[in-house]
Amino acid sequence: MALVTTKQLMLDAQKGGYAIGAFNVENMEMVQAAVDAAKELRSPVILQTTPSTVKYADLSYFYANVKAAAEHTSVPVVMHLDHGSSFELAMRALRTGYTSIMIDGSHDSFEQNIAVTKAVVDACRPSHIPVEAELGKVGGKEDDLDGGEGGGYTVPSEAVEFAAATGIDSLAVAIGTAHGVYKGMPKLDVERLSEIRQAVSIPLVLHGTSGVPDEAVKECIRRGICKVNYATDLRIAFSNGVKEVLSANPDTIDPKKYNACGREKVKEYVMSKIEVCGSVGKA
C-alpha cells in the first residue's frame, strides 16, 4: 500500500492504549526487516532517518527504499524524518515525500523552539503532513545528536504553552531517557509523564528507548506514550548478524550473505519491540 502519515495511526494508538514502534533504518536490509516484521505481526510501523543518516545517503535514497517496501506490503508504513535539525532539512524531507516530519528545536531557547517549530508546522499543514517536536532535552549522544548529560526535563505547563503556540501533532518528551548506549539503568520520571499527559491532548513520543527495560516502556505506554523510538539497538542487531557470518566464514565476500544475517537479526528485534508496544494486529 502507499505510504501513510502518522496522524490517524497515533490518534488510534492514543485511543487504544498502545504505541507505534518507530525504527531508525540505515540501509535497504534494515528497511526490509522492519517492514517484514510489521507485516508478519499485522502492525503499523514507522521508519525513520536522522540528519546524519541522510547525510550519508540523500533523503531520496531512503525514501525510495521505504516507498518500495510499503508498496509490497499490506500494513501501514510511515516515512518519518527523525530529529530534523533545521527548517531547511524539514522542507527537503517534505518535498522528497516523507509522510511525517520531526523538527527538533530543543537545543534552542523555548522561544526559538516555538518559532522554528511553528514555521515547520505552517509549511507542512497544506500538505496534511503531521509534525513532531521535542520539548526538554533527551540526553546522551548518538550520531550528531548530543543531548548532554541529562536534565532539561519537559515541564508540563510549558508543554501546554508549546503545543498551543505551535500547533504540533505530537510531542517528544524528556523524562530521563537518553540517546545511544546507556552506561547504567535509566531512571524514568513516569509521574512527570502522567502530568504531561493530563496537561496536553496530543499524542506523546518517547525517544532514546534502546536499552530501556521492556516493562518500563510498557509503563510509559500505559501513561500516554503513543510512539516509541528505537535506533541504537537496531544497529547493534544488524552489526551482530554481519559479525556472526564473517566470524564463522572470514573469506565471505558476498555482501548478500552477511547482510541477510544482519537483516534477520533486525527483524527479530523489531518483532520483539512491536510486541512491547502492543500494536500486534492493529494494522
**R_g over Cα of the chain:** 18
For 219-228, the pLDDT digits (tens) are: 999 999 999 9
Tell me the pLDDT band of 147, cut-offs 50, 70 and 90. Answer: very low
Give residue 181's pLDDT: 53
Q: Is pLDDT above 70 for 179?
A: no
Q: Rounded to a whole number, what is the distance in angstroms from the first to the last CA of the chain? A: 12
In this prediction, residues 30-42 reach a mean pLDDT of 98
Give residue 177's pLDDT: 84
For 97-127, the pLDDT digits (tens) are: 999 999 999 999 999 999 999 999 999 999 9
Tell me the pLDDT band of 132, cut-offs 50, 70 and 90. Answer: very high
Q: Is pLDDT above 80 for 186?
A: no
Q: Is pLDDT above 90 for 22?
A: yes
CA distance 121 to 118: 5
Active-site residue, 254 included: no
Tell me the pLDDT band of 134, cut-offs 50, 70 and 90. Answer: very high
Class of domain 7-232+272-277: alpha beta
Tell me the pLDDT band of 187, cut-offs 50, 70 and 90. Answer: confident
**Mean pLDDT of all residues in the chain?**
93
In this prediction, residues 161-178 reach a mean pLDDT of 95
Q: Which of 12, 58, 82, 189 is catalytic?
A: 82
In this prediction, residues 237-245 reach a mean pLDDT of 98
* Residue that is written with C-alpha cell 548478500 in the block: 256
Give residue 210's pLDDT: 82
Give residue 211's pLDDT: 82
Give residue 153's pLDDT: 92
261 to 124, 185, 257, 270: CA distances (angstroms): 38, 29, 7, 14
Tell me the pLDDT band of 184, cut-offs 50, 70 and 90. Answer: low
Taking Cα atoms as reference points, which of 148, 24, 143 lies closest to residue 78?
A: 24
Asked if 35 and 242 touch (Cβ cutoff 8 Å), the reply is no
In this prediction, residues 180-195 reach a mean pLDDT of 78
Strand order in the sheet with 178-179: 145-148, 139-142, 178-179
Q: Is pLDDT above 80 for 246?
A: yes
Asked if 22 and 232 touch (Cβ cutoff 8 Å), the reply is no
Domain ranges for the chain, please list them. Answer: 7-232+272-277
Give residue 47's pLDDT: 98
Give residue 144's pLDDT: 56
Give residue 180's pLDDT: 52
